[in-house]
Amino acid sequence: MAETRTRKCPICGKPSAEAYKPFCSKRCADVDLNRWLTGSYVIPARDDEPVADASDDE
């Protein structure tokens, strides 16, 4: 083994597990997935915003 450095779990900082890389457990993987889902993938809010179509006025 050339690489002795163990990657740490980005969630809790524990050494990552082979099965859940780069996380240490499924739990942490889930936590990260959740963060990703709620952070990057923004669920459309139920805003009753009036559709202002500026390009559609003749």
Stretch near Zn ion under the rule CB under 5 A, chosen from 9-17, 34-42, 48-56: 9-17
CA 52 to chain centre: 32
Q: Binding string to Zn ion for residues 26 to 55, with x set by CB under 5 A, is what?
A: --x---------------------------
6 near 16, Cβ under 8 Å? yes
* 11 is a contact residue toward Zn ion (CB under 5 A): yes
Cα–Cα distance for residue pair 23/52, rounded to 1 Å: 45
Contact segment (CB under 5 A) with Zn ion among 11-19, 36-44, 46-54 equals 11-19
